[in-house]
Structure 1
């Protein structure tokens, strides 16, 4: 009939199967009817906990009890039980009087300071900022969210919640009249907001019965060294901090 009627059905079948595979068909279709538009039956896992109803409160995470006094907390922060104890770098304690009316919270020690907070160039700028409002390190309580400097120089995300809880407990035990948080890490720990979102107004931090600390957010001296144009805003923050402390 003018055409080769000898067909290799094995090769033809293989070609068809290859075409369907390239088209994305990866399963067989049986003769029994099947509801392709229906959802899959849920599979119950014996080890899965029962689901909570929508809107039900979640169980709070189990948190280790923190020291009950400020003196115990300061010792604990540089001991073997501190969250940063395994970092292999020196732990730096808070400084200044524990009864000061003004407390200042930063993120962590400086790279070039292993025995005190805010050393080096950032520390010298910090001292000038304090002097501009008639204060010094001798009459403020200076603390950090991290007792050691992280390897990357920024707050570890996996410890941020725990270190923030410790910082808030520190403020509650110290009970200052005003708190200056300097930098995003310190601002997030206390106010749950970055400096640019929190600065420019007083925030009320209620931490004891009938006792409130007013919080001011501003830039870390390290940031002011990198971006001197922010010093005008930092000066306004210091003026806000000073009002009411005289």
Structure 2
């Protein structure tokens, strides 16, 4: 009776280590507790040394030059595998639409929002009297990451570039389709930002522009959750109110 007297502790320990490895714990940290939320300690300076800080990148202040830079070797996605798509449509349009990244099919077609999501997008545009030729379509991330998600450490830079891009256009309104575009311009996910017309002041170099933003759902989300189309229609109505088609 009682506990198994033949318990194999070596096998149990190996099993536990395998479980931790499968869970992603593959690095020994320390035996003592550590406050992971504490700010990092300031760097220790050695007397007589000078710390050289690289100057920030100066972004082009015209739309054509910025689009060329965005597709060039200095862009954050330049070393990624896959075809980049900077923007499409009419850059002088009063309506700009910002999405997160190209779809998987887009690299083949060379067009943002291809496939089923693109067909739904076209119907949404038609419902407000627009076509792809009468809007300016921009992606926060010009090349689709291999995993379909942008690394957190790159988000701040991509958001900065998206704001700069929008500021260089002549758009009066911007539709933010999905969480990444909403975070880029409004600092919050689409669900929290929906339902309001958000006034924004964006800067690109010495240029300062006022624009209004509407957060809504990405077409791929609407394909997965058709019940949200009614709410998306409300967003589109708010978007075009007061704009000439």
TM-score bracket for the superposition, by shorter chain length: 0.7 to 0.9
Structure 2 equivalent of residue 156 of structure 1: 151
Change (3 A) 1:47 1:196: closer
Structure 2 equivalent of residue 55 of structure 1: none
Asked if 2 retains the 8 angstrom alpha-carbon contact of 1:93 and 1:116, the reply is no
Structure 1 equivalent of residue 73 of structure 2: 80
Query: What is the aligned counterpart of 1:147 among 131, 142, 147?
Result: 142
Structure 2 equivalent of residue 200 of structure 1: 195
RMSD: 2.2
Change (3 A) 1:46 1:212: closer
> What do residues 21-42 of structure 1 show as CA deviations (whole Å, max 9, x unaligned)?
xxxxxxxxxxxxxxxxxxxxxx
Query: What is the aligned counterpart of 1:238 among 207, 220, 236?
Result: 236
- Measure, in 2, the Cα distance between the counterparts of 1:229 and 1:46: 51
In the TM superposition, residue 78 of structure 1 has moved relative to its aligned partner by 1.3
Change (3 A) 1:244 1:49: farther
Structure 1 equivalent of residue 184 of structure 2: 189
Moved beyond 6 Å, runs of 4+: none
Structure 2 unaligned regions, length at least 5:
1-40, 47-53
> Any residues of structure 2 matched to 1:217-228 within 5 Å, and which?
217-228=215-226
Structure 2 equivalent of residue 17 of structure 1: none
Structure 1 equivalent of residue 13 of structure 2: none
Asked if 1 retains the 8 angstrom alpha-carbon contact of 2:87 and 2:137, the reply is yes
- Partner SS state of residue 211, structure 2: strand
Structure 1 unaligned regions, length at least 5:
1-44, 51-60
1:170 and 2:165 correspond: yes
Asked if 2 retains the 8 angstrom alpha-carbon contact of 1:107 and 1:155, the reply is no
Matched length: 193
Query: What is the aligned counterpart of 2:57 among 49, 58, 64?
Result: 64
TM-score normalised by length of structure 1: 0.74
- Measure, in 2, the Cα distance between the counterparts of 1:134 and 1:46: 56
- Partner SS state of residue 86, structure 1: coil
Asked if 1 retains the 8 angstrom alpha-carbon contact of 2:98 and 2:138, the reply is yes
TM-score normalised by length of structure 2: 0.74
- Measure, in 2, the Cα distance between the counterparts of 1:210 and 1:82: 23
